[in-house]
Chains A and B, each alone.
Chain A
Amino acid sequence: MDLKDKLVSSFLAFENKVDIDTHVHNVRSEAIKVFEEKGFPTKKEEAWKYTSLNKILKEDYSVFPKQENALDYKDIKKYFIHEIDSYNVVFIDGKYSSHLSQTTHDGIDVCLMSSALTSPKYRLIIENHFNKAATADSLSSLNTAFSQEGVYIHIPKNKIADKPIQFINFSTGTEASTLLQPRNLVVAEENSHVQIIERHQSLTANPVLTNSVTEIFTKKRAIVDYYKIQNDSKNASLIDNTFIKQQRESIASVHTFSFGGKLIRNNLNYFQEGERIDSILKGVTILGDKQHVDHNTLVHHIEPNCESHQDYKGIYGDKSTGVFNGKIIVEKEAQKTNAFQSNNNILVSDKASINTKPQLEIFADDVKCSHGCTIGQLDESAMFYMQSRGIPKKEAKALLMYAFSNNVLSSVKIPELKQRINKIIANKLGVNIGFDL
């Protein structure tokens, strides 16, 4: 039985465990039908031309982890930005760990998706938002069908979350191989502000596939800053589906830091449903070995006077491969749109490769859209210059790569997070220098 059949048939078992007489379950039932019909995407589809899921789908994933596992905080502390005070939501093999988490209902809601989906208190918000931003593509539908656990964040009107929210999905690898499908919902009401850090972390070498869906709603004048740290172990793959619906004058930024893992596919989708919206998409990718990353972005400009800013930097070594596919749609009504996209890449090895493709569909006639992509190598004259000042080749290289990504890093608003990213980069590049620029 292949993975698709296995998943479709386990939906029945899933139904035995959840309340099926609900709005949410109607959505799930529709979604499993979509998945059954579409199946997993293949390279024949334009959007999946450079990324094949074939190999990772061959694993015999355990769909519902059987046992509950516990972790000691001291063993996993390093995966948190522990220098800051934050709300933490931790999942171990898809199950919530209250022991490692700090949730809240004081002023804002930071809690579990499972309780939000079932508690009457949240019924209206769920009905109005759950699966209202996600599209009906096959992988998101698969997640929707089995959606049950994840993070639920609700920031009421005029409220500023008093500290950042971190959530981490750990997999312990006690199963031979694990499929995880976290489902997250973030609703930032009018004029609210929240900062979120998301991470997926596998603790062993056993294969893990995460198919995650996060829906984010930024209401009028709300600000959401979202950071994704993708630095997983070499047998962990991630399909990250993020959907952001923005209302007028809101600002939503997503920073994606892709440093580790086997295969990463980021489907990042923005829908602008009001005027004077700003959408910010930034990424730093540093890969080696045979790692693969595919950044697939969509910004849908629907209303006039909005902006979008995309800036992705990629550094590819060894036999790693990258894809950047950035789609911008400007609807006829979306006059005075300012849409910028840039994707710059450095190939550090002859065997690394990158496919980069801007895709602009512009139906309005009074817009400013610019896009640019570059693929280059490290500047040899800069290397010699640095070496002649006593900076060894390896460190010089690292400093140049860091400098290359610096304008993305400089927009990270949490200093401790930026320091951590700097450290991960130094580690990744095998040097011990502080990049405190």
Chain B
Amino acid sequence: MLKIENLHASVEDKNILKGINLEVKPGEVHAIMGPNGSGKSTLSSVVAGKEEYEVTDGKIFFNGEDIEELAAEERAHKGIFLSFQYPVEIPGVSVTNFIKTAINESRKAKGLEDMPAKDMLKLIREKSELLEIDRKFLSRSLNEGFSGGEKKRNEIFQMAMLEPKLAILDETDSGLDIDALRIVANGVNKLKSKDNAVVVITHYQRLLDYIVPDFVHVLHNGRIVKSGGKELAHELEERGYDWIKEEAANA
């Protein structure tokens, strides 16, 4: 589904990604871990198509198609979803109207009519129940004055509405208390199927107790320096990242 080959990327002439190779297949859950500043968020932004990031070398394929030239919204229409570490506040646009616009723009791109209001309402009700979101919450301005937990829950709510093929969750666990974490993880797990894939980007192993990865990759200094199964996450939790850095330095 997602195939990244020798990806190099920079922002403002600073090289951040220095040769990433990664393949994610349908039905898989991958975790990307690593210390601060290792390039985790850059990787997610580059895959989602943030303009400020320049791909200087390498390729990103999504379902066999090179997506380098595609705008962020076109990638979203193809089924890539990025849950933001820091969701942006948009005063004046309600959660409901935002998600309605997002869904209808995706449909428009596929040559479909707007979703009938009745179906939209049904879908919103269904998905907000899944994430235990209060209906009042949906009429509030997007992310404005939301707590950390509400913002993240809202991200996963949008993911549930948009039903992406590939969901990248960037530090979704940060700012979540244990109850919110459970709700969010539960939501992600319910949306998982053999046809879609999830990439969890996280600093800590905590979230991975709930969203269990098939593969764990360690990112350091713009490269994936170690890959393994879910036990690797536990090892990182116990031993920290220093041994990884040493191994990388000695390699």
Chain A residues near B (Cβ < 8 Å): 379, 381-382, 384-393, 395-396, 399-400, 402-407, 433, 435-437
Q: Which residues of A contact B93 (CB under 8 A)?
A: 399-400, 402-403, 406, 437
**Contact: A389 with B92, CB < 8 Å?**
no
Assuming the A-B contacts A392-B105, A395-B105, A436-B97, are A387 and B72 also in contact, with contact meaning beta carbons closer than 8 angstroms in the complex?
yes
- Given that A399-B93, A403-B90 are known contacts, is A389 also in contact with B71, CB under 8 Å in the complex? no
The number of chain B residues with a CB under 8 A from chain A is 34
Contacts of A379 in B (CB 8 A): 88
Question: CB within 8 A of A385: which of B90, B92, B94, B141?
Answer: B90
B109-148 residues at the A interface, CB under 8 angstroms: 109, 141
A142 to chain B, nearest CB (A): 40
One of B48, B71, B98, B158 near A392 (C-beta < 8 A): B71
Q: Which residues of B contact A387 (CB under 8 A)?
A: 49, 71-73, 76
Of all chain A residues, the one with the shortest Cβ separation from B45 is A384
Q: Chain A interface mostly helix, strand, loop or mixed?
A: helix
- Interchain nearest-CB distance for B87 vs A (Å): 7
Q: Find B94's partner among A382, A407, A437 (CB 8 Å cutoff).
A: A437
- Identify 7 residue pairs between A and B in the complex whose beta-carbon atoms are under 8 Å apart, listed by A's number: A385-B90, A387-B76, A388-B72, A388-B76, A388-B81, A393-B71, A437-B97
| Cross-chain contact A391 with B90 (CB below 8 angstroms) | no
The answer on a CB contact under 8 Å between B71 and A404 is: no
Chain B hits for A390, CB < 8 A:
73, 76-77, 102-103, 105-106, 109, 162
Within the complex, what minimum Cβ distance (angstroms) separates B250 from chain A?
A: 38
Residues of B within 8 A of A384 (CB): 50-51, 72
Roughly how many angstroms separate A255 CA and B90 CA in the complex, as a whole number?
A: 24
B90 touches A389 (CB 8 A): no
A391 CB contact (under 8 Å) in B50, B73, B84, B87: B73
Cross-interface CB contact of B92 among A388, A393, A403, cutoff 8 Å: A403
B40-70 near A? 1/0 per residue, CB < 8 Å:
0000000011110000000000000000000
Whether the Cβ atoms of A389 and B88 lie closer than 8 Å is no
Residues of A close to B92: CB separation below 8 A: 402-407, 437
**Assembly CA distance A384 to B53 (angstroms):** 12
Other than the given A389-B81, A403-B93, 16 more pairs (CB < 8 A) read: A379-B88, A381-B88, A385-B87, A385-B88, A387-B49, A387-B76, A388-B76, A388-B84, A389-B98, A390-B102, A390-B162, A391-B102, A399-B93, A402-B92, A406-B91, A406-B92
